[in-house]
Structure 1
Amino acid sequence: MNELRPLLASLTGEMNGWLREDDPLIGELTVPDEGDDVVLALAAQSRRAAGLVRRSDTPLSDAMSLWQASTRENLQLRCSPEATTADISNLLDSWLEHPMPEVSEPGGDRARSVRLPVPLRQAIVPLLEYGFTARTVTLARRLNTPPPVSPSPALIRPAREDDGERMRELMRELMATEVSFGSGYQRAPEVSDHHVEEALTLHDGWAVVAEIDGLVVGWASMAPPEFSGWAAPSVRPRPAAYFGNAVVDPAVRSGGIGRALASTLHNHAHSHGVDTIILDAASNNTWSVPFWHRLGYRPLWTTWRRRYPTSD
């Protein structure tokens, strides 16, 4: 690692320079740091690409395990603007020749992933050739002006504690859909309840529900800037808020309820001085990314994933 640090620092600086010119909304990259979780340090033969591979494990009971394998290797890639597909292939080849770690707990799953800025198009073909698929797209939109209010057949109001049971039911339905698309991982049903509990801790209008004839048919939540620090580095403009969840009953989809939920939170965020909203959408879910694009979001980052069998 020590011998690669000057190269990683140089490539990070170069990468930030050309990304800033290509898309000023994309966040600043930092130089990958050392740590006990680093398992590999890699460099292409050309020295135009390099990176660190980090090992991480998430308990199956953790809500984050709904969206990612419980045992993961993540590549932090840095490259110069002159990096070619051959350079990326060379780096991936060095990474993948090492065996994938075993799962950290029974019933777990394994994957390798790399999160890349969308303008790094020379990485796409090598990733596909090495069996990676686009799993998640990180999108963002700015709130330069008050967003338009979308009409809705439902009453949009702040979420309450007594909405919890119905919100949990809708969240479990959403996770079943994401698993069927290959976007999420099969977990115990109650694991997704953590998202609802987290949303109900948000007060002052940061979590809302859609109600028709007394029945909650959808809900959405957004973390205010003070709780979005982990996601904020994805963008340059601040303050940034993270749009965590948006769920609509399948029986009433395509009726404007999802748009109304999002519009309500957009206006709430704007009134609280938020500049940029960030969210992650599942690439495999053919409804998700087009929906957010219609609401003014655009892609900044793509997380690529290669799944592995539970054991070799």
Structure 2
Amino acid sequence: MTTAQELIQAQSARFTALDPLLPGDIYAPSESEPLATRTAEGAPAAGLVVHESNPQGSPRGLWQADEAFELFPLLGDNPRTGMDAVLGTWRRWMDEQPDPGANSTCMVVWPSRDVQATRALLDHGFVPLSVLAVRPSAPAPEEPSDNTKLSGTVKVRRAGPADLDAVVELTLAELEYAALVGTATYRPDAAQLKRTAAGVRLNSSDPVWLAEQDGTPVAVAECGWIDTGKPSRAYRLRTGTWGYVNCVSVHEQWRGTGVGRQLMATAHNEFVRAGAVGSFLYYNPPNPLSSVFWPRQGYRPLWTMWEVRPATALR
């Protein structure tokens, strides 16, 4: 009989062959509901389900539904048939749970390059709402010297506690836009949650970069540092120090002028100077701005966050 550990070992070997940037270890949550099933051909497959609630006042509620169910599939080397079987079992498991309401989600995080599993996820009603994208550590390319779109003088500098109001205003604008094209939700307490988070970041060693045009803030990049060991639920990355791009926001009037590129060139060069193995961020594929901007900055998807909303829409 195949054990969960054997499924994990086979899956880990497959992930390593599929994408060299995937971590070698498979993350499996300890507190979860187990699912066990078999494919139509009789091969074993399993999954672990984690249920979390995000009440009013929860920072995570800005990017996650009120009731969130996440599946951690254990498929061995049967990505398509195994995923199909586990998702069908999950659907039946969800039928036995209390109705989670309209503001709920079923979510699966899976390697972006695994197109075999992609087919099964699409068949069960999932859509790719977010990706974790990575960029190898490398200096930013030289900026063109004849950028005629920029008017006035744009300078990029480190932000400090005195810049709190400007940072909050710009990050709220990004949240409002992101809520139209991805998983984000602009909740009534969003302004206070953003102010609290920005205040902590601006008073820490995490770099926050502000772009100013003739002294007026026009863009911000909230960044940070992540030291990864074994893969965790939040950071499924190879071991090392990573630069983290938490939020980038360019004022609507300055989009398409090159300010965002100039801002990120500063951030990427700082990551290189600090010895980061690379940098990562999350963006929404349905976002017509970030889905173009981030690949041009050298990022490519590593993990895709597939969702069904509401959770009862899982097929």
Whether TM exceeds 0.5 here: the answer is yes
Structure 1 position 130 matched with structure 2 position 131: no
Give the alignment of 1:232-243 within 5 angstroms.
233-236=235-238, 238-243=240-245
**In structure 2, do the counterparts of structure 1 residues 135 and 29 end up closer, same or farther at CA, with 3 Å as the change threshold?**
farther
**In structure 2, do the counterparts of structure 1 residues 75 and 63 end up closer, same or farther at CA, with 3 Å as the change threshold?**
same
1:17, distance to aligned residue in structure 2 (A): 1.2
Unpaired runs of 5+ residues, structure 1, are: none
Give the alignment of 1:262-273 within 5 angstroms.
262-273=264-275
SS in 2 for 1:219: strand
Counterpart-to-counterpart distance in 2, 1:201 and 1:227: 23
Q: Is the 8 A contact 2:130 2:182 kept in 1?
A: no
1:8, distance to aligned residue in structure 2 (A): 2.3
SS in 1 for 2:240: coil
TM-score (norm 2): 0.85
2:108 corresponds in structure 1 to 114
1:233, distance to aligned residue in structure 2 (A): 4.6
Give the residue type in structure 2 aligned to 1:169.
E
Structure 1 position 177 matched with structure 2 position 177: yes
SS in 2 for 1:225: strand
Higher deviation after alignment, 84-93 or 213-222: 84-93
**In structure 2, do the counterparts of structure 1 residues 31 and 44 end up closer, same or farther at CA, with 3 Å as the change threshold?**
farther
Give the residue type in structure 2 aligned to 1:109.
N
Counterpart-to-counterpart distance in 2, 1:309 and 1:42: 20
Give the alignment of 1:1-312 within 5 angstroms.
7-30=3-26, 32-35=28-31, 38-45=32-39, 46-81=42-77, 83=78, 85-97=80-92, 98-99=94-95, 101-103=98-100, 109-143=103-137, 145-150=138-143, 154-188=154-188, 189-190=190-191, 191-203=193-205, 206-226=207-227, 233-236=235-238, 238-308=240-310
Q: Is the 8 A contact 2:64 2:185 kept in 1?
A: yes
2:147 corresponds in structure 1 to none
**In structure 2, do the counterparts of structure 1 residues 226 and 237 end up closer, same or farther at CA, with 3 Å as the change threshold?**
closer
SS in 1 for 2:186: coil
Give the residue type in structure 2 aligned to 1:137.
V
Q: Deviations over 1:46-70 (max 9, x none)?
A: 3343211111122331222111112
Counterpart-to-counterpart distance in 2, 1:241 and 1:252: 25
Counterpart-to-counterpart distance in 1, 2:139 and 2:46: 42
Q: Deviations over 1:180-214 (max 9, x none)?
A: 2243123123233344224313337x111000122
Q: Is the 8 A contact 1:163 1:216 kept in 2?
A: no
Q: Deviations over 1:243-278 (max 9, x none)?
A: 111111011011111111111111111111111111
1:110, distance to aligned residue in structure 2 (A): 1.0
Counterpart-to-counterpart distance in 2, 1:127 and 1:80: 17
Percent of aligned pairs with the same amino acid: 25
Higher deviation after alignment, 157-166 or 6-15: 6-15
Q: Deviations over 1:211-255 (max 9, x none)?
A: 012211111021123599858852225222221111110110111
**In structure 2, do the counterparts of structure 1 residues 176 and 31 end up closer, same or farther at CA, with 3 Å as the change threshold?**
closer
Give the residue type in structure 2 aligned to 1:161.
P
Unpaired runs of 5+ residues, structure 2, are: 145-149
Counterpart-to-counterpart distance in 2, 1:195 and 1:129: 38
SS in 2 for 1:285: coil
Q: Is the 8 A contact 2:130 2:283 kept in 1?
A: yes
Q: Deviations over 1:114-158 (max 9, x none)?
A: 100112212222222222111111110111x43335467521000
SS in 2 for 1:222: strand
**In structure 2, do the counterparts of structure 1 residues 130 and 11 end up closer, same or farther at CA, with 3 Å as the change threshold?**
same
